[in-house]
């Protein structure tokens, strides 16, 4: 059971929390009940279920996200991950709406395709990169927006919602190859031609740098033309630790590729997700004037 709990990797949800918080900042109909259940369903059920399911089929022997020495998987991990998925669907139907439930179902299917041996998106460098970033970013942002506001899918297909959703994917498309950069040996052994493996270590960093700059430009344009340009300074300040650590890591990798390793990748994830979480909490509290109402 300890192995199963470790492979569910509940703390990993912290890395995906920025998408929920960003969607919350745009939600016009905030209700504590819906906010609670969207958070619980995604971060305590759907994401851990995805982690566990993919770990079961990957059977990693080397470091993976938040598990430096992953224990052996067993069949209980497979069934617990499916149980969490089923519970997520039931709670989504009871507490939110059918559209959100169907989006949770679709996300779960897409996440399972990542490592399932009959599909295994992970072995397709560009397709796997696109689909993973799309679902964890763009799709989850829309799902949160549907669940938080009790909307139908037609109500979210508007430029002012689709634009921030796309920015979430841009962030993930930049960060995702960095999560693969220390796994080249094991990925190559299994025949998984990940994007980072195809690019090579140094080109992975160059590629991610361009994606991060594109995402930052997108956020600046969003705040300038759509949201409130006064948040641009705060956004750039929040991203400063991310830029500094990424530059430091890239510099070390240029000196020697042995620095493209697990501990640096985890620190990159921790710093970037924490910076974004802090900024999006501030954005939500300040833009919605929630504190003024207390």
Residue range 227-276, pLDDT digits in tens: 888 899 999 999 999 999 999 999 999 998 888 888 899 999 999 999 99
Average the pLDDT over 3-10 and give the result.
84
Whole-number mean pLDDT of the chain? 89
Residue 106, H or E segment: helix 98-113
Average the pLDDT over 89-103 and give the result.
95
Lowest mean pLDDT among 138-142, 187-191, 225-229, 263-267: 187-191
Full-model pTM? 0.93
CA distance linking residue 40 with residue 199, whole number of Å: 37
Q: Where are the chain's structural domains?
A: 2-293
Average the pLDDT over 9-21 and give the result.
92
With a cut of 90, say whether residue 88 has pLDDT above it: yes
pLDDT of residue 73: 79
Would you give the DSSP letter of residue 261? S
Give the position of tokens 């033309």.
Answer: 225
HEC-encoded secondary structure of 1-69: CHHHHHHHCHHHHHHHHHHHHHHHHHCCCCCHHHHHHHHHHHHHHHHHHHHHHHHHHHCCCCCECCECC
- Where residue 168 falls among pLDDT bands split at 50, 70, 90? very high
With a cut of 80, say whether residue 284 has pLDDT above it: yes
Average the pLDDT over 70-90 and give the result.
90
The CATH number given to 2-293 is 1.10.600
């Amino acid at each position: 059971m300890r192995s199963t709990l470790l492979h569910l990797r509940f703390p990993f949800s912290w890395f995906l929390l920025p998408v929920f918080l960003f969607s919350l900042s745009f939600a016009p109909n905030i209700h504590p009940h819906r906010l609670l259940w969207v958070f619980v369903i995604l971060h305590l059920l759907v994401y851990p279920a995805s982690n566990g399911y993919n770990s079961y089929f990957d059977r990693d022997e080397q470091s993976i996200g938040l598990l430096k020495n992953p224990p052996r998987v067993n069949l209980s991990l497979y069934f617990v991950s499916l149980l969490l998925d089923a519970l997520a669907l039931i709670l989504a139907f009871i507490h939110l709406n059918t559209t959100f439930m169907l989006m949770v179902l679709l996300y779960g299917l897409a996440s399972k395709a990542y490592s399932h041996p009959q599909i295994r998106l992970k072995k397709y460098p560009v397709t796997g990169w696109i689909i993973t970033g799309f679902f964890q970013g763009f799709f989850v942002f829309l799902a949160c927006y549907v669940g938080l506001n009790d909307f139908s899918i037609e109500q979210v297909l508007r430029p002012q919602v689709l634009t921030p959703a796309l920015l979430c994917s841009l962030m993930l498309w930049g960060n995702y190859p960095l999560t693969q950069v220390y796994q080249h040996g094991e990925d190559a052994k299994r025949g998984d031609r990940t994007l980072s493996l195809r690019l090579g270590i140094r080109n992975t960093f160059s590629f991610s740098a361009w994606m991060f700059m594109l995402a930052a430009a997108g956020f600046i344009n969003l705040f300038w033309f759509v949201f409130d340009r006064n948040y641009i300074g705060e956004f750039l300040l929040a991203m400063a630790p991310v830029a500094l650590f990424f530059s430091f890591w890239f510099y070390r990798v240029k000196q020697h590729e042995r620095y493209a390793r697990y501990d640096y990748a985890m620190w990159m994830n921790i710093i970037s997700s924490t910076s974004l979480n802090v900024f999006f909490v501030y954005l939500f509290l300040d833009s919605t004037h929630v504190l003024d109402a207390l």
